[in-house]
Amino acid sequence: MSAAALLLLSLATGSQLLLDEVFHVPAGEWRYVPVILKQPPVTVDCDFRVISGNGEVRVVLVNRDGLDTLRGGDREPLGSGAYVQQGQVSRLVNLPDEYAVVLENGGHGPVSMRLRVSLDFSARGRPRAQTLPPERRVAVIVISATVFLGIVYYSARKLLSVMR
């Protein structure tokens, strides 16, 4: 009975734990973890922290093209973010593709780090639909009505001139 309740609870939250492992990254090197996303939109949440070694790391989510660029030797997809001992990366993904969570060691010695990747299918983190403030609503209505009445006036003048 409790297993069914836990399953329902995990489905209700919309978040799935994809990975919770320790990775070893040599100094100045990078490693990656493949993440295939077939059901966007989804928020990919990555929590990481260095558990041994005194280096700092950077974690980046890249798509298949970015990973191919990295494999070719160009580190441009990694960006210019700061290297830290621990942190969190959250990214909303809207297109189905093969992605990779890239772990880069920016220190002078090897590090072991714990990486936890989860997928959040709930609406948290997604842009919410918003309404315009009252002043802007009035402006939109006034402009729309003015344009509409202008078109009616112009059309009426043209029709009346043809009818005479």
Give 11-48 pLDDT, tens digit per residue: 445 678 999 999 999 988 889 999 988 888 888 999 99
| Same-domain check for residues 112 and 147 | no
pLDDT of residue 24: 94
For residues 120 and 116, give the distance between their C-alpha atoms in angstroms, rounded to a whole number: 13
| Same-domain check for residues 153 and 116 | no
Out of 54-68, 77-91, 120-134, the most confident range is: 54-68
Q: Which tokens in the block code for residue 155?
A: 């059309």
Residue 1, in any domain of the structure:
no
| Same-domain check for residues 154 and 96 | no
Helix (H) or strand (E) holding 156: helix 134-163
- In a 3-state reduction of DSSP, which class is residue 15? strand
Q: Which residue has the tokens 């990254």?
A: 25
- Structural domain span for residue 72: 10-120
| Same-domain check for residues 150 and 114 | no
Q: In total, how many domains does the chain have?
A: 2
| Same-domain check for residues 116 and 136 | no
| Same-domain check for residues 55 and 35 | yes
Residue 66, in any domain of the structure:
yes
pTM above 0.75, yes or no: no
Residue 68 pLDDT exceeds 80: yes
Q: Read off the pLDDT of residues 91-111 as tens digits, 9 standing for 90 and up.
A: 888 889 899 999 988 888 899
